[in-house]
Amino acid sequence: MVSTNFLDGKIKRLQREINQLENKRSKAVDDEASAIKKINRANDTISRSKQSSTIKTKEREIQRENNKIQNAKKKQADLLTKISKKNTEYNKAMTDLNNERQKEQNKIFKEQEKKINDYKIQQNLARDELAVQKMDEDQLKEYDVFISHSANDKDSFVNDLAEALKDANVSVWYDSDSIGWGKSIRQEIDNGLAYSKYGIVVISPSFIEKYWTNYELDGILSKEGATKSQIILPIWHNVTADQVQKYSLSLSNKLALNTGINTIDEIVENVKKLLN
């Protein structure tokens, strides 16, 4: 399979070659036009001159310029043939590039679809395991929001947010409260994601670098894709738009609250509006 980088390079090379050939053809056209002008001037001189030597000199000049015209015409024809061949190669390369890009896009779609299906399977397994442990699935606790965050942001923001949400009677899955000693972190996170209505994602420089935050975000994105409904509630914390865009285009396109603009009370009010 030909790579898109190879085809991009080939297309740029063909564009350069076509431009070079066009420049040569343009020069050949100019050479032909110049020779025609010289012939016209020579004919004008002949028509006005009575000296045989001058007439012969101009006739020889006309012959030379006629030869130049023929050479210029031949060169133009040869260049047009080469340009046509290069254009054919260029069009084929463009078609191949578009086909390869479509294949890559299809591959991405298939990977996303597999990720969503894997997530569904994982969540079903988590539900089954919980059903065995709890005896009755109806007794499983459901949460209004799951808070995905970096541990480095707990003291500066997340602890206060979790407490404010709980004070507002919002049920919160928060790792400090929900993962017991000796419990499987991965399993508890999966359970929390499966039984939470929304996922608050506190995006910060530290969040972008952590493993577990990426694992949680993948789960929330997959759940949103599977349910076709809004689940992710992003909050930007000491992070720029450029940082978010480089980390995740899908997140950067979502309307987010910002700790530099919105107070914790305002964030809690927005969550309550969604729940109501």
DSSP 229: S
32, 100, 216, 224: which one is catalytic?
216
DSSP assignment string, 130-191: HHHHHS-GGGS--EEEEEE--GGGIIIIIHHHHHHHHHTT--EE-HHHHS-TT--HHHHHHH
Q: List strands edge to edge, sheet with 257-258.
A: 172-173, 143-148, 196-203, 232-236, 257-258
Q: What value does the mean pLDDT take over residues 7-26? A: 93
271: Cα separation from own chain's centroid: 31
pLDDT of residue 5: 87
pLDDT band at residue 194 under the 50/70/90 scheme? confident
User: How far, in Å, CA of 174 to CA of 192, rounded?
Assistant: 9
Closest by alpha carbon to 1, among 152, 127, 144, 106? 106
pLDDT band at residue 101 under the 50/70/90 scheme? confident
pLDDT band at residue 197 under the 50/70/90 scheme? confident
Would you state the structure tokens that stand for residue 187, as one six-digit string? 């399993």
Q: What value does the mean pLDDT take over residues 141-163? A: 87
Out of 50-54, 131-135, 212-216, give the one with best mean pLDDT. 50-54
pLDDT of residue 258: 92
Report the mean per-residue pLDDT for the chain. 83
Residue entry with tokens 């709980």: 166
Phi/psi at 229 (5° precision): -135, 160
CA distances from 276 to 99, 144, 197, 269 (A): 48, 11, 12, 11
**Is the pLDDT at 15 greater than 90, yes or no?**
yes
Q: What value does the mean pLDDT take over residues 26-36? A: 93
**Is the pLDDT at 11 greater than 80, yes or no?**
yes
Per the model's pLDDT, the better-predicted residue between 207 and 28 turns out to be 28
List pLDDT tens digits, range 249-269: 777 788 889 999 999 999 999
Q: Among 75-79, 81-85, 141-145, 219-223, whose mean pLDDT is lowest?
A: 219-223
pLDDT of residue 130: 65
pLDDT band at residue 215 under the 50/70/90 scheme? low
Would you state the structure tokens that stand for residue 123, as one six-digit string? 């969540």
pLDDT of residue 183: 46
106: Cα separation from own chain's centroid: 14
Residue 35, Ramachandran bin (φ over 0: left; ψ between -120 and 50: alpha; else beta): alpha
User: How far, in Å, CA of 173 to CA of 193, rounded?
Assistant: 8
Q: Among 7-16, 136-145, 190-199, whose mean pLDDT is lowest?
A: 136-145
- Residue 216 among the catalytic residues: yes
Per the model's pLDDT, the better-predicted residue between 138 and 44 turns out to be 44
Q: Among 52-56, 126-130, 187-191, 251-255, whose mean pLDDT is lowest?
A: 187-191
DSSP assignment string, 51-81: -HHHHHHHHHHHHHHHHHHHHHHHHHHHHHH
Which residues are CB-neighbours of 213 under 8 A, at least 6 positions away?
148, 149, 150, 207
SS3 1: coil
Percent of the chain whose pLDDT exceeds 90: 38
pLDDT of residue 115: 86
User: How far, in Å, CA of 30 to CA of 247, rounded?
Assistant: 55
**Is the pLDDT at 181 greater than 80, yes or no?**
no
